[in-house]
Amino acid sequence: MSAVIYLDNNATTQVAPEVVEAILPYLTQYYGNPSSMHTFGGQVGKAIKQARSQVASLLGAEESEIIFTSCGTEGNNTAIRAALAAQPDRKHLITTSVEHACVLNLFKQLEKQGYTVTYLSVDRKGQLDLMELEAAMTGNTALVSTMYANNETGTVFPVEQIGAIVKEYGATYHVDAVQVVGKLPLNLKNSTIDLMTLSGHKLHAPKGVGALYVRRGFRFRPLLIGGHQERGRRAGTENVVGIVGLGKAAELAQLHLADIQHEKKLRDKLEKGLLAIADTEINGDRKNRLPNTTNIGFKYIEGEAILLSLDQFGICASSGSACTSGSLEPSHVLRAMGLPYTTLHGSIRFSLSRYTTEAAVDRVLEVMPAIVERLRAMSPFNNDQAEWLQDREEAVLGSR
Amino acid sequence: MWEYTEKVLDLFYNPKNQGAIEDRDEAGVAVVFGEVGSIACGDALRLHLKIEVDTDRILDSSFQTFGCTSAIASSSALTELVKGITLDEALNISNRDIAEYLGGLPEEKMHCSVMGQEALEAAIFKYRGIEVEQHEDDDGRLVCSCFGVSENKIRRVVIENNLTTVEQVTSYVKAGGGCSSCGAEIEDIIAAVQQEKEVTATRVAAEIAVAQAQNRPLTTVQKIGLIQSVLQEVRPVLIADGGDVELYDVEGDVVKVVLKGACGSCASSTATLKNAIEVRIKERVSPNMIVEAVE
């Protein structure tokens, strides 16, 4: 197998070499506990302080507004629980049908605990209807939780407009910004966002570290109870290595934002080349979209078969197909967008990073036409008019 | 990432017998296809058969598959398994045979092998003029509306593959893999099948005990019950060696078995038959019994 061509950066990213260099001393030399009352621990405490400053700077926030967590899931769970604790009398929650499992599954659990949840729909581009949001808001709404950008399609939601509506009703606004931090410029100083989640491994920091932005003055109740770490807002000895890595990664991301157009140009080149293959289409909002993501549906063939074929050439991508997961249902995001089954099952996500080269993009464009042709030659479906395809699709849809 | 065997990967990257079989109106030859699945469900198979009319023998087979790696490999495997055998023999091919040919499939992907078995049946039923709609799988009450799976189909897969959990049923026929609201019903079906098996086993055992006490000859059903218990004892050893055995038929004192996997091609299979199986059957059932392997 040739060298790996990694185009699955929305799943995780490589740790930046500068980040590796920054964290090494904290694996070897500076291993003190930052809570200890001696200089050895104090040195580590300073490193955490610096990381907090680096993360705050990337978000346009204050240091005191950053809580380090272990991952995006912890950040989202903490934020949602904290929001409920802040307004215990309100029992209505709003989210979208395309959220990450760590939000959707938590809301399902909250429904069992007596909360009412409104799941906002999305259109064919994966975009929200703000009128639907406004119609759902009531004086009983405690929290609105939405993504900033979708992990599968890259569609970016108008978060400040959403936040403005939320504020009218005195509710809390939480944003899962895991896919956005490091890809779009952020400034939370005058934002309508109360709580915002990020995850380190999506921006070239190690896995196992994340952060939660908590707007100053927000009535916060911690999820993890224990020691006084993170000013009592997240107990547990700090993951110093992860935090230092996240800090450095945030600093690098801020520098890279100036050059994000390079990623976008490569993404556009890849997309244009793939769209030249017959019966393909882009899934998502092409106008409001992350610069690094493209999700393309290859009609009449199945995603896992495409992925494994790409894997033979050392190319890593991702699919919304059911066969790539333990679940038997295809991506809930693509289904919520109402994509036809012909496109849905054969959708592939390519997500780039600042390390993606033009040669990598060229290689994908070189091999993909033959992969699609080979699989289509095996498929019993080959056009939308195929009688069998039509009959079966309607039969199954009718039984749902 | 799924862990696939080399055979699965080989047949995915280099599938055999892909495409349709053209019907050239040859004398004495019929071409037919059977199809299962749908693009909505995420996998579909159209299996083509070329049949010698006089002998019912499958001369050629090919496939068109919409699906994942294991669906393509299972389809290709199936076309190899059916070539050269008669339609009746083909109807005996189970999804386990397809999975075994591939050296195994991840359990979550077993439904791909079930799809192969169903397409084969659909093709043969179509050739024989049996309405597919009247097939027992489609007759039963619908249990899983997400994937359109009937009670009969669940019962069949539970019995044939000795499934004991809802998760296994989901892996084999997808039922319960959508909204999962039918999970409890599937659990009930599994429990009912297990109970029926226990009742049957108890009844056969009781009948055998009575017959032995009265010193009268065993009925065929009683013989089959005892033969099956002998085969169940032997199977783990054979499976460990990459083979297997299955009861094919009992005619008088002749027990016909099918040797599978490594046993089918093993030079010492006669010894296995005589020493491991026939001796025990002679002891337990009747000293007159003879065991023969069928192709």
| B53-70 pLDDT, tens digit each | 999 999 999 999 999 999
Handedness of CA B250, B251, B255, B256 (dihedral sign): negative
Residue that the structure tokens 């109807």 belong to = B91
Q: Which two tokens stand for residue A138?
A: 């009531």
Nearest to B243 by CA among B229, B230, B228, B257: B257
**Closest chain B CA to residue A342:** B39
Chain centroid to CA A31: 32
Write down the pLDDT at residue B15: 96
**pTM of the full predicted structure?**
0.81
Give pLDDT, residue A6. 97
Scanning B21-40 for CB atoms below 8 A from A yields 35, 37-40
pLDDT per residue as tens digits for the range B2-21: 889 999 999 999 999 999 99
Q: Does B170 touch chain A (CB under 8 A)?
A: yes
The A116-120 sheet, strands edge to edge: A66-69, A210-214, A195-199, A172-176, A141-147, A92-96, A116-120
Which of B18, B40, B174 comes nearest A393 by C-beta? B40
- Nearest Cα neighbor of B93 from B79, B105, B103 is B79
Tokens of A139: 């004086």
> Given an 8 Å threshold on Cβ–Cβ distance, is A380 in contact with B44?
yes
Q: Which residue of B has its CA nearest to A308?
A: B69
Which chain A residues touch B66 with a CB distance below 8 Å? 300-302, 345, 379-381
- Which chain B residue has the Cα nearest residue A380? B64
Q: Which residue of B has its CA nearest to A381?
A: B66
Inspect the interface and report whether the beta carbons of B170 and A302 lie closer than 8 Å: no
**For A322, which of B37, B42, B148 is closest by C-beta distance?**
B42
Amino acid letter, residue B133? E
Kindly report the nearest CA distance between residue B9 and chain A, in angstroms: 9
Is B65 an 8 Å CB contact of chain A?
Answer: yes
- Most B CBs within 10 A among A318, A327, A378, A382, hence the mutation to make, goes to A378
Q: B18 at the A interface (CB within 8 A)? A: yes
- Look at A396 and B148 and tell me if their CB atoms are within 8 Å: yes
B167/A contact by beta carbon, under 8 A: no
Closest CA to B127 of B54, B220, B21, B53: B53
Enumerate residues 6+ apart whose C-beta is below 8 A from A308: B12, B69
Q: Is the pLDDT of residue B238 over 90?
A: no
Contact B39 A341 (CB under 8 A): yes
Kind of pairing between the strands at B57-66 and A347-351: unpaired
pLDDT of residue B264: 63
Look at A302 and B42 and tell me if their CB atoms are within 8 Å: yes
Per-residue H/E/C for chain A:
CCCCEECECCCCCCCCHHHHHHHHHHHHCCCCCCCCCCHHHHHHHHHHHHHHHHHHHHHCCCHHHEEEECCHHHHHHHHHHHHHHHCCCCCEEEEECCCCHHHHHHHHHHHHCCCEEEEECCCCCCCCCHHHHHHHCCCCEEEEEEECECCCCCEECCHHHHHHHHHHCCCEEEEECCCCECCECCCCCCCCCCEEEEEHHHCCCCCCCEEEEECCCCCCCCCCCCCCHHHHCCCCCCCHHHHHHHHHHHHHHHHHHHHHHHHHHHHHHHHHHHHCCCCEEECCCCCCECCCEEEEEECCCCHHHHHHHHHCCCEECEECCHHHCCCCCCCHHHHHCCCCHHHHCCEEEEECCCCCCHHHHHHHHHHHHHHHHHHHHHCCCCCCCCHHHHHHHHHHHHHC
Residues of A within 8 A of B46 (CB-CB) are 380, 388
Interface A–B counts its CB contacts (< 8 A) at: 99
Q: How confident is the model at residue B129 (pLDDT cuts 50, 70, 90)?
A: confident
Distance from CA of B110 to the nearest CA of A (A): 12
Chain B residue whose CA is closest to A318: B1
| Set of chain B residues whose Cβ sits within 8 Å of the Cβ of A330 | 42
What is the nearest CA distance from A367 to chain B, expressed in angstroms? 14
**What is the Cα–Cα distance from A103 to A96, expressed in whole angstroms?**
9
Q: What is the DSSP letter of B219?
A: P
Residues 205-244 of B with CB under 8 A from A: none
Mean pLDDT across B266-284:
77
Taking the Cβ of residue B71 and every Cβ of chain A, the question of whether any pair is shorter than 8 Å is answered with: yes
Q: Name which of B12, B18, B145 is nearest A399 (Cβ-Cβ).
A: B145
Query: Nearest chain B Cα to A300, which residue?
Result: B66
pLDDT at residue B18 in the model: 94
Contacts of B196 (CB under 8 A, 6+ apart): none
pLDDT at A387: 65
Q: What is the mean pLDDT of residues B91-112?
A: 90
Known catalytic residue at A71? no
Of A304, A327, A341, the CB nearest to B68: A304
Select from A308, A323, A341 the Cβ nearest to the Cβ of B40. A341
* Residue of chain B whose alpha carbon sits nearest to that of A312: B13
How confident is the model at residue A397, as a pLDDT?
46
- CB of B181 within 8 Å of a chain A CB? The answer is no
For residue A224, what are its two tokens?
A: 């993890």
Q: Which residues face A176 on adjacent strands?
A: A147, A197
Pick B178's closest partner by Cβ from A321, A328, A395: A328
Say if the Cβ atoms of B145 and A305 lie within 8 Å. no
- Mean pLDDT of the region B200-212: 75
Residue A398: the pLDDT is 43
Q: Which amino acid makes up residue B68?
A: C
Q: Which of residues 101-140 of B touch A (CB under 8 A)?
A: 108-109
Name the helix (H) or strand (E) containing B113.
helix B110-127
Tokens for B52?
Answer: 């010698």
Q: What is the pLDDT of residue A84?
A: 95
What are B66's strand-pairing partners? B44
Q: 10-residue block means of pLDDT along chain A (400 residues)?
A: 87 97 97 92 94 98 97 97 94 97 96 96 97 97 98 97 98 98 96 98 98 95 92 94 98 94 96 97 96 96 95 94 73 93 93 97 98 95 69 48
Q: Look at B39 and A312 and tell me if their CB atoms are within 8 Å.
A: no
pLDDT at A226: 92
Q: pLDDT > 70: what percent of chain B?
A: 91
- CB-nearest partner of A399 from B43, B66, B148: B148
Q: Give the whole-angstrom CA distance, residue A199 versus residue A151.
A: 13
pLDDT grade for B220, boundaries at 50, 70 and 90 = confident
The two structure tokens encoding residue A355: 């390390």
Q: In chain B, which residues have their Cβ closer than 8 Å to the Cβ of A381?
A: 39, 44, 66
Higher pLDDT pick, B96 / B160: B96
Measured between alpha carbons, how far is B190 from B170 in angstroms, rounded to an integer? Answer: 12
